[in-house]
Amino acid sequence: MRRKGKKYFNGFFAALLGLTCALASPAQALASDGSSYVYDGYTYDFYGNAKESPAMFQLERTISAENMGGVALSSVDDVCTSADGRIFTVDTTESRINVFDENGGLLFTTRLVRTVDGKIALDENGNQIMLNAPEGLFIHEKEQEIYVADTGNKRIVVLDLATYGLLRIINAPAELVGVTQFVPSKIAVDLADRIYVVVQSSYEGIVELTRDGEFSGYYGVNTPMVSLTDYFWKSIASDEQKAQMAKVYAPAFNNITLDGEGFVMAVTYDSSASDMVFRLNSKGENVLRQEGNTPVIGDIWNMSSTDAGSQFVDIAVTDYGTYALLDRTKGRIFLYNFDGELLNAFGSRGNLKGEFKSPTSIAWLGDKLIVSDDMLNYIYILAPTAFGKAVLEGSESYYFGDWDAALVSFQQALALNANYESAYSGIGKNYLMKEDYKTAMYYFKMGNNRTFYSKAYNGFRGEWLERHFLIIMFLFLVLVAAVIGSEVRYHQQSKVKAKAAMKLLNSRRGREEE
């Protein structure tokens, strides 16, 4: 009896194993290190319906404590990449910078900063320079520098990109005005060597420094949303009451990066901010293009009253303006092109490899995405799928005006996802450029792009009028002739009638005279 039971048990397991294999076998999207996670993607159509779509990325590789060669990995708070394919991360808890190669092999790790020639560096007081809870870093390719936000020590440490040796230290600027404490968290450096420093919870904006570390001003305007009820109560409150009310502060920026044209792009997840994603011009105004079906806010529907919506912790921009936004509420990655059209959204929260628990940072490495998570302590390397490659190539060709290449890429994307409105629009724009208006109209209709449909129709109508000019002119002339003719006939008839009436009158008069 017991043996029989065991046999059944074994049989059950064998069946279960077979079932798992059968289920697993169709999903051949295994990553190179054997880990596999297939994301579900979606986009929004013109009507705001979520349309299923293949995900643009799949998990290629994870970097975890196993890659660290015995060095602890406790939380990854910021990720940056250099042009030669190195991945730089900061570990806030361990106060370390870790550098990996593009396959996840550890190249360098330290918390103690050394000079360029390998000696232990000392600061002006003769102390060793130890990093303390750094939260951000930035690779400045132009000057071959690494900027590390040494948050705990309230300073910025600048290292050499090749040797990781100390170049200089930027301490809190003496001229810093306002109430903001100089606690650098995230950094970006633009092509003119201006340093932009994000201080968490600073409502005065991004701190802008010169290359020498002198304070040059606050940068960026982040307007808060004021609700109508608040406005009403404020308008009738007395001065004492107003003093007790919670002040509405400008929401802080939470992360920052630079796009290919040198514009600063920033995100905020403060719920009181009216914009969530910023592309700041030199005046600090938001000039982000939002020409897509949805505004650049990530998810457009709230699933319940407690659903906070998407909260972006980081942004990564390619040279061709396509940017990825990392949403910490639902663990999603949203990809937008430079026009603000949602290309794809994918990812979820959970404990599986490939899912996110507390995503912190995102960066591009070529056409791959590097995403870090500070609770799972993983760094994911996501590689584009066939669909993702087609879309990214299409966006790139489109951005640089390479219409024919864009057409090919968008057609590939459409072959993989027939619901993809932005690819239809892209193809339509190509035909519009070639003045093939009729085809363009078809694709704009499929892509629900009314603005461009109108442009294509304008061309189509112009051509039609030109082609049928003769017959239209002829019909018009016939109409004019008919109108004139009928007028003439009417006048003639009335003249005849008038003559007849006169005759009648005359004859009557004649009779009366008789």
Partner 1 sequence: MKENAKEKLFYLKRSIVHPFDAFYEIRFRGKGSASLAVIILLVFGVLQCVSYQYTGFIINFHDLAGMNSISIFLTWVLGFVLFIVSNWSVTTLLNGKGNMTDILTVVSYSLVPLTCTMIFQVFASNFIIAEEAMIVYVITGVGAVWSLFMLLAGLCVIHEYGFGKTLVSILLTFVAAAIIMFLGILFFTLIEQMVTFVISVGQEFIRRL
Chain residues that interact with partner 1, rule: CB under 8 A: 47, 49, 445, 450-451, 453-455, 457-458, 461
Q: What is the closest distance, in whole angstroms, from the C-beta atom of residue 419 to partner 1 in the complex?
A: 12
Q: What is the closest distance, in whole angstroms, from the C-beta atom of residue 450 to partner 1 in the complex?
A: 5
Residue among 454 and 494 whose Cβ is closer to partner 1: 454
Contact, 387 vs 417, CB < 8 A? yes
Q: What is the closest distance, in whole angstroms, from the C-beta atom of residue 300 to partner 1 in the complex?
A: 15
Residue showing tokens 């999603």: 332
Q: What is the closest distance, in whole angstroms, from the C-beta atom of residue 454 to partner 1 in the complex?
A: 4
Q: Could you say which DSSP state residue 151 is in? A: G
Q: What is the CA radius of gyration of the chain?
A: 34
Considering only CA atoms, which of 51, 52, 56, 90 is closest in space to residue 74? 90
Q: What is the closest distance, in whole angstroms, from the C-beta atom of residue 282 to partner 1 in the complex?
A: 32
Residue among 47 and 126 whose Cβ is closer to partner 1: 47
CA atoms of 210 and 193, how far apart (whole Å): 7
Residue among 300 and 408 whose Cβ is closer to partner 1: 300
Beta bridge partners of 333: 326, 346
Q: What is the closest distance, in whole angstroms, from the C-beta atom of residue 53 to partner 1 in the complex?
A: 17
Q: What is the closest distance, in whole angstroms, from the C-beta atom of residue 303 to partner 1 in the complex?
A: 21
Is the CA virtual torsion 507, 509, 511, 513 positive or negative? negative
Q: What is the closest distance, in whole angstroms, from the C-beta atom of residue 445 to partner 1 in the complex?
A: 6
CA atoms of 267 and 276, how far apart (whole Å): 6
Q: Euclidean distance between the first and final Cα of the chain, in Å?
A: 147
Is the CA virtual torsion 211, 217, 223, 224 positive or negative? positive
Residue among 49 and 492 whose Cβ is closer to partner 1: 49
Considering only CA atoms, which of 326, 315, 370 is closest in space to residue 100? 370
CA atoms of 356 and 377, how far apart (whole Å): 10
Q: 3-state class of 206 per DSSP?
A: strand
Residue among 461 and 497 whose Cβ is closer to partner 1: 461
Residue among 37 and 453 whose Cβ is closer to partner 1: 453
Q: What is the closest distance, in whole angstroms, from the C-beta atom of residue 458 to partner 1 in the complex?
A: 5
Contact, 349 vs 355, CB < 8 A? yes
Residue among 37 and 437 whose Cβ is closer to partner 1: 437
Considering only CA atoms, which of 65, 92, 85 is closest in space to residue 377? 65
CA atoms of 84 and 68, how far apart (whole Å): 21
Residue among 467 and 509 whose Cβ is closer to partner 1: 467
Contact, 449 vs 440, CB < 8 A? no
Mind spelling out the 3-state secondary structure of 156-183? EEEEECCCCCEEEEECCCCCCCCCCCCC
Q: What is the closest distance, in whole angstroms, from the C-beta atom of residue 453 to partner 1 in the complex?
A: 6
Residue among 49 and 227 whose Cβ is closer to partner 1: 49
Residue among 52 and 141 whose Cβ is closer to partner 1: 52
Q: Could you say which DSSP state residue 290 is in? A: -
